[in-house]
A = this chain, B = another copy of it.
Amino acid sequence: MSSRNKSAAPAGRLQRAPEGFVSGELIDDIVRHGLDDTRRGFLKRSFLAAGAALAAGSPVAAMAGQAAKSGAKGDPMILEPRPWSTVLGKPVAFHPYGVPSKYEANLQRRQSPGLTPTPQASVAFAPLQGFFGIITPNGLHFERHHQGWVDVDPEQHRFMINGMVKEAKVYTMDDLMRLPAVSKVHFIECGANTGMEWGNAAVPTVQYTHGMLSCCEFTGVPLKVLLDDCGADLKNGKFILAEGNDGSSLTRTISMGAALDDAMVAWGMNGEMLRPENGYPLRLVVPGVQGVSWVKWLRRIKVGDKPWNTMGETSTYVDLMPDGMLRQYTSIQECKSVITSPSGGQMLLSKGFFNVSGLAWSGRGKIKQVDVSFDGGRNWKTARLETPVLDKCLTRFNIDWVWDGSPSILQSRAIDSTGFVQPRYGQLTKVRGTRSTYHNNAIQSWNVAATGEVSNVHVD
């Protein structure tokens, strides 16, 4: 299961949770790879066969040892009528807008307790450990607000373009939605994602190490169409300022290059209107650029000839370098990857075959290759990339692994279409130091103990 509700999980499993290092809310994720005790016994017996098959080089043969042989006759579960197979079920449109199964209630976005003083200027992390493929369900998209989220009335919303333009204009949502639309799938990552790992905090799960990351199909009008409509001065206008309409009036300077390239003024997100916490009814989409620049509840874009250096651009989203200086406007999210399953807080309850799966992305283009190591970076194998592999978009990778029960360190290393190779921690901190908050794209390591416990471990 992607994640299990604690109350629904058999007690026997939860007793296996390494309670020493995870908080109560995280325990549920641990059982992801669990098989019940009966099956574990079977797997133990069949492991020699699996190992032999591995030696023969066939993953399918390797996992064959794990499958419930002759279960068709032996498994009482298949012979007894299930409660749900003898009833008249619920009608169509029971939920006019559907919701997940009650058994998935534990898969939710979560605040990190104590991370921020107030929950309105805070973060809710996406549960990457339970995700499949590349699309982030809208209900589980990560959140980062500066003064809380608002549900803006689209009838009342206005969007203005002004500054160095021939004619300043104000658009209604209806105006915008009549214009030529495009749809593109892109990742969005907060510049502070993986920020707690700079100081080697080793937060327990991938939800907290990498969960300020999501990926959606966005629909909107290319920003260049609107700039053209207003007659933007492209000779002297080198930057735009994007401004949001929540209480924080967040502003971000964006280069005209990015604005004219693939930026869009978007209303659609995975086929429907944006969610309120993601900027409904209008947000800026700046593919490859850190999330803060994807200004939500977008009310204004101003064209200018130099960066504005507004508060959010000078005091935050800047990189503290080893010499104590702050590096500014490093907005591109560099090539990065992470194994999401198995990952910290989960537990492997048996040896044998596993599909190791993760995500890779680059703000500079497409993912070209992902390598995975099971021994802390000594040996690497190339993973399978799920298609389509898209520009500035998450790419899902999968790789076969037969765990022999010995301690292992799992890592993934992405390479993008520019040839950039995701750095080791030692490589990154040599240049950037360890006191930064933003733009950490180092290789993540997950330690698998002989007990099957998976934990966050720092490897240089």
A residues contacting B by CB (< 8 A) are: 1-2, 4, 8-10, 33-35, 39, 59-60, 63-64, 66-75, 77-78, 82, 84-104, 107-111, 118-120, 122-124, 130-141, 143-145, 147-156, 158, 160, 162, 167-175, 177-185, 216-219, 225, 228-229, 245-247, 249, 267-268, 270-277, 280-281, 297, 299, 352-355, 357, 386-388, 390, 396, 398, 400
A390 to B185, CA, bound (A): 13
A135 close to B271 (CB less than 8 A): yes
The 9 closest A-B pairs by CB, nearest first: A89-B148, A71-B170, A132-B268, A91-B119, A72-B168, A133-B183, A96-B108, A132-B219, A84-B150
Given the interface pairs A99-B97, A150-B90, the reply to whether A67 lies near B229 with Cβ below 8 Å is yes
Nearest chain B residue, comparing its CB with the CB of A354: B178
A72-B162, A90-B148, A133-B271 given. 19 additional CB < 8 A pairs?
A60-B180, A60-B229, A63-B179, A71-B168, A73-B168, A86-B247, A88-B247, A89-B149, A89-B150, A98-B140, A98-B141, A98-B277, A99-B275, A101-B281, A133-B219, A137-B270, A139-B139, A140-B272, A181-B357
B85 close to A172 (CB less than 8 A): no
Given the interface pairs A92-B111, A172-B39, A178-B355, the reply to whether A160 lies near B71 with Cβ below 8 Å is yes
Given the interface pairs A92-B122, A280-B101, the reply to whether A137 lies near B272 with Cβ below 8 Å is yes
Given the interface pairs A35-B174, A71-B168, A273-B101, the reply to whether A84 lies near B396 with Cβ below 8 Å is no
A182 close to B138 (CB less than 8 A): no
A92: min CB distance to chain B, Å: 4
Interface core residue of A10, A67, A268, A387 (most chain B CB under 10 Å): A67
**Chain B residues, CB < 8 A from A249:** 85
A63: min CB distance to chain B, Å: 6
B72 close to A170 (CB less than 8 A): yes
**Chain B residues, CB < 8 A from A107:** 97, 272-273
Q: Which of B74, B96, B180, B299 contacts A400 (CB 8 A)?
A: B180
Q: Which of B134, B153, B272, B352 contacts A132 (CB 8 A)?
A: B272
**Chain B residues, CB < 8 A from A357:** 181
A354 to B176, CA, bound (A): 10
A155 close to B229 (CB less than 8 A): no
Nearest chain B residue, comparing its CB with the CB of A386: B183
10 pairs of residues in contact across A and B, judged by CB atoms under 8 Å: A67-B229, A68-B175, A71-B169, A72-B162, A78-B158, A98-B138, A130-B272, A131-B272, A137-B272, A180-B400
B173 close to A1 (CB less than 8 A): yes
A75 to B159, CA, bound (A): 11
A103 close to B178 (CB less than 8 A): no
A155 to B160, CA, bound (A): 53
B1 close to A281 (CB less than 8 A): yes
B123 close to A92 (CB less than 8 A): yes
A12 to B165, CA, bound (A): 34
B110 close to A96 (CB less than 8 A): yes
A302: min CB distance to chain B, Å: 10
Given the interface pairs A84-B297, A96-B110, A160-B71, the reply to whether A180 lies near B119 with Cβ below 8 Å is no
Q: Which of B66, B140, B179, B225 contacts A97 (CB 8 A)?
A: B140
A257 to B75, CA, bound (A): 30
A405: min CB distance to chain B, Å: 15
A120 close to B69 (CB less than 8 A): no
A156 to B139, CA, bound (A): 26
A275 close to B170 (CB less than 8 A): no
Q: Which of B73, B158, B387 contacts A75 (CB 8 A)?
A: B158
A446: min CB distance to chain B, Å: 17
A144 to B92, CA, bound (A): 7
